[in-house]
Amino acid sequence: MHELSIAISLIDVAAEEAERRGVEVVAVHLRLGPLSGVVREALLSAFELAREGSPLAEARLVIEDVPIAVYCPTCDAEQAAQSIQQICCAICGTPTPRVVRGRELEISALEIIDGPADATGRSAAEGAQAE
């Protein structure tokens, strides 16, 4: 299952950025296209497993599904594809090899809080303000 190695890489990237900025990551937002070769459910499961014992042990993986879009030469525009099996314009049916979207596998955002959280779930900055 290559989704596990992808999940580990996502955690590594997010943890490195969190350490660099001195923040805690509470969610990793990912854009995922059906042509990426990654199974959404397998990645979610792998992320749950990979985050255990990591700096992102409590973080969520939020996946935005990106639909397949193609450039249609007949319509001279970007259009939705008919399906993952038929890479052709959903409007006029023209087959096209020009996939514009649908291959994504990219971190789009990290949801963070300032500083590491304490036992109450508040960041150190929030705890200092509350006292």
32 or 83, greater pLDDT: 32
Question: Residue 100 is encoded by which pair of tokens?
Answer: 């514009």
User: Using CA atoms, how far apart are residues 25 and 68, in angstroms rounded to an integer?
Assistant: 29
**pLDDT above 70 (res 123):** no
User: Using CA atoms, how far apart are residues 3 and 39, in angstroms rounded to an integer?
Assistant: 7
pLDDT of amino acid 127: 37
Kindly list the domain boundaries of the chain, sorted by start residue. Answer: 2-64+105-130, 67-101
Q: Using CA of residue 15, residue 21, residue 23, residue 25, what is the dihedral sign?
A: negative
Q: Are 102 and 96 in contact (CB under 8 A)?
A: no
CATH number, domain 2-64+105-130, options 3.40.50.300, 3.40.50.150, 3.30.2320.50, 3.40.640.10: 3.30.2320.50
Averaged pLDDT for residues 41-65: 96
Q: Whose CA is closest to 32, among 73, 67, 6, 82?
A: 67
How many Cβ atoms sit within 10 Å of the Cβ of residue 69?
A: 18
pLDDT of amino acid 114: 84
Averaged pLDDT for residues 47-67: 96
pLDDT band per the 50, 70, 90 thresholds, residue 128: very low
Averaged pLDDT for residues 92-99: 93
Angle at the Cα of 80 from the Cα atoms of 105 and 77, rounded to 5 degrees: 110
